[in-house]
């Protein structure tokens, strides 16, 4: 019976080992799955057309800035010219009034109409042809 007890004990040990092996995950070599989400940034590949369009947009922005600055400068110049013309007009009015006072004081008559510019006059030549004469 001693052999039977040792056989039963050996069988029980083998059965326990087999059960331990079956339930053990590390011995079976089951695979663990992992989900990886890479965060790799890849730069955008630009074609020649995209580069040309980008360059054109930058050029247009610079042109618009330059145009805006130049128009501001022209506006300031026009304001300065307008101020200068107003001062010249005021001086001319002052001179005109002074001249009128001087003429009245000296008794000089004012012409009825302002002085006219000489225009082209049509003359008839001795041979009968008409010609336009310009004043010299």
Residue 85: name the closest of 75, 74, 93 by CA: 93
Cα 28 from Cα 22, distance rounded (Å)? 7
Residues found in the chain: 136
Cα 120 from Cα 131, distance rounded (Å)? 10
Encode pLDDT of 43-77 as tens digits: 778 889 999 999 999 999 999 999 999 999 999 99
Q: What is the mean pLDDT of the chain?
A: 80
Express as a percent the part of the chain with pLDDT over 70: 74
Residue 75: name the closest of 67, 86, 85 by CA: 67
Which pLDDT band holds residue 27 (cuts at 50, 70, 90)? low
């Amino acid at each position: 019976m001693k052999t039977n007890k040792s056989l039963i004990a050996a069988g029980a040990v083998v059965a326990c080992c087999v059960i331990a092996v079956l339930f053990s995950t590390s011995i079976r070599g089951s695979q663990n799955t992992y989900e990886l989400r890479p965060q790799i940034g890849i730069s955008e590949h630009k074609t020649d057309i995209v580069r040309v369009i980008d360059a054109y947009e930058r050029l247009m922005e610079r042109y618009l800035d330059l145009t805006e600055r130049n128009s501001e400068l022209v506006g300031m110049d026009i304001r300065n010219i307008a101020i200068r013309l107003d001062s010249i007009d005021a001086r001319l009015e002052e001179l005109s009034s002074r001249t009128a006072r001087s003429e009245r004081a000296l008794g000089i008559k004012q012409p009825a109409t302002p002085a006219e510019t000489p225009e082209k006059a049509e003359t008839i030549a001795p041979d009968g042809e008409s010609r336009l004469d310009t004043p010299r």
